[in-house]
Amino acid sequence: MSIDSGARPTVPEQGRPAPSHRTGKPALSEGKKAERKLGLLLCAPAAIIMVLVTGYPIVYAVWLSLQRYDLRFPAEQEFAGLANYAAVLTSSYWWSAFFVTVIITVISVAIEFVLGLALALIMHRTIVARGLTRTVVLIPYGIVTVVAAFSWQFAWTPDKGYLAALLPEGAAPLTDQVSALAIIILAEVWKTTPFMALLLMAGLALVPDDLLKAAQVDGAGPWQRLTKIILPMMKPAILVALLFRTLDAFRVFDNIYILTQGSNGTGSVSMLGYDNLFKAFNLGIGSAISVLIFIAVALIAFLFIKIFGAAAPGSDEGKR
């Protein structure tokens, strides 16, 4: 073991240049052609399934968003152009829901990242009860979201829950905007930090121990090792974890639906879309909200990929 492990860090540096950079554009060699064919073949099943299942629904939703279509008045369906979008974007409901969503997303993802990294480091490095810790950490993520949200609601309801009992007499935290948002964020953070931690731990697994030991011998402290070695090497894992958590957080629905039903200024954009689609049966407006959520989320994803640049999947420059 000790003989082999010494050789590991040196190997990557020699062989790193990716094969894709060697060949020029004009003539494709045999190997190159075979590589293309294999690449397409391996991706085909994923591409076919994704397009088959979501192609029509996505196109249909976009089409609906351009229609005046209210299920209560089906006869009045007609093409409306961007009128639904104008109606949504000039509505104060949309903007208050939008800001609530942004607040929930930013605060919960920030807390989750710090907490998730700490959890990942503990899960990865701990020397006692490692299996137990790794398993238990994932339980919050494994619990059915709706039930977890319900249990939080119960816990914070005066006279019913253990957490409400800790508060001063007469406090009803779920009926005030600020404290209700704090509870929603708490429920989100508790539930999804394990997701973050698990993805980050998989990234940590790729940081070679020898490299850390070498840095330690050279006098790098724990903080330096974290910021100069561990975090840069985990960049791809961090991108995936942050990206998917932000996308999810921005569409927060279950927790709010159970905890406050969106009352007292706690409704998210997904709640608004749901209310319009399934309660008011206004398919045109509801679909326009969905498309706007999609655009907002797409902008977030674009920003993330720009910030992380080469660490994004599919970009060639990132192969160190």
Partner 1 sequence: MATAVAAPTRGSGQSAASKKTWWSVANLVVLLYALIPVLWILSLSFKTADTVTDGNFIPRSWTFENYAQVFQIDLFTSALINSIGIAIISTVLAVVIGTMAAYAIARLDFPGKKLLVGVSLLIAMFPQISLVTPLFNIERAIGLFDTWPGLILPYITFALPLSIYTLSAFFREIPWELEKAAQMDGATPLQAFRSVIVPLAAPGVFTTAILVFIFCWNDFLFAVSLTSTSRSQTATVAISQFTGASQFAEPTGSIAAAAVLLTIPIIIFVLFFQRRIVAGLTSGAVKG
Q: Is 245 among the residues that bind partner 1 (CB under 8 A)?
A: no
Residue 110 Cβ, how far from partner 1 at the closest point, in Å?
A: 17
Q: Which residue in 56, 79, 95, 99 binds partner 1 (CB under 8 A)? A: 56
Site for partner 1 in 79-98 (CB under 8 A): none
Q: In the complex with partner 1, which residue's Cβ is closer, 40 or 172?
A: 40
Residue 103 Cβ, how far from partner 1 at the closest point, in Å?
A: 19
Q: Which residue in 29, 126, 177, 263 binds partner 1 (CB under 8 A)? A: 126
Q: Is 15 among the residues that bind partner 1 (CB under 8 A)?
A: yes
Q: CA-to-CA distance for 82 and 61, rounded, in angstroms? A: 14
Q: Is 61 among the residues that bind partner 1 (CB under 8 A)?
A: yes
Angle at 204 between CA 200 and CA 207, to 5 degrees: 150
Q: Which residue in 104, 183, 233, 249 binds partner 1 (CB under 8 A)? A: 233
Q: Is 181 among the residues that bind partner 1 (CB under 8 A)?
A: no
Pick the stretch among 75-83, 93-101, 177-185, 197-205 that binds partner 1 (CB under 8 A): 197-205
Residue 262 and residue 224 in contact, taking contact as beta carbons nearer than 8 Å: no
Give the number of other Cβ atoms within 10 Å of residue 136's Cβ. 12
Pick the stretch among 78-86, 101-109, 170-178, 196-204 that binds partner 1 (CB under 8 A): 196-204
Residue 277 and residue 283 in contact, taking contact as beta carbons nearer than 8 Å: yes
Q: Is 19 among the residues that bind partner 1 (CB under 8 A)?
A: yes
Pick the stretch among 76-84, 86-94, 98-106, 127-135 that binds partner 1 (CB under 8 A): 127-135
174 burial (CB, 10 Å; 0-12 / 13-18 / 19+) is buried
Residue 80 Cβ, how far from partner 1 at the closest point, in Å?
A: 17
Q: In the complex with partner 1, which residue's Cβ is closer, 180 or 196?
A: 196
Q: Is 103 among the residues that bind partner 1 (CB under 8 A)?
A: no
Site for partner 1 in 135-174 (CB under 8 A): 135-148, 150-152, 154-155, 159-162, 164-165
Q: Which residue in 102, 106, 122, 229 binds partner 1 (CB under 8 A)? A: 122
Q: Is 265 among the residues that bind partner 1 (CB under 8 A)?
A: no
Counting every residue written for the chain, the total comes to 320
Pick the stretch among 72-80, 81-89, 91-99, 286-294 that binds partner 1 (CB under 8 A): 286-294
Q: In the complex with partner 1, which residue's Cβ is closer, 136 or 172?
A: 136
Q: Which residue in 190, 260, 262, 266 binds partner 1 (CB under 8 A)? A: 190
Q: In the complex with partner 1, which residue's Cβ is closer, 106 or 141?
A: 141
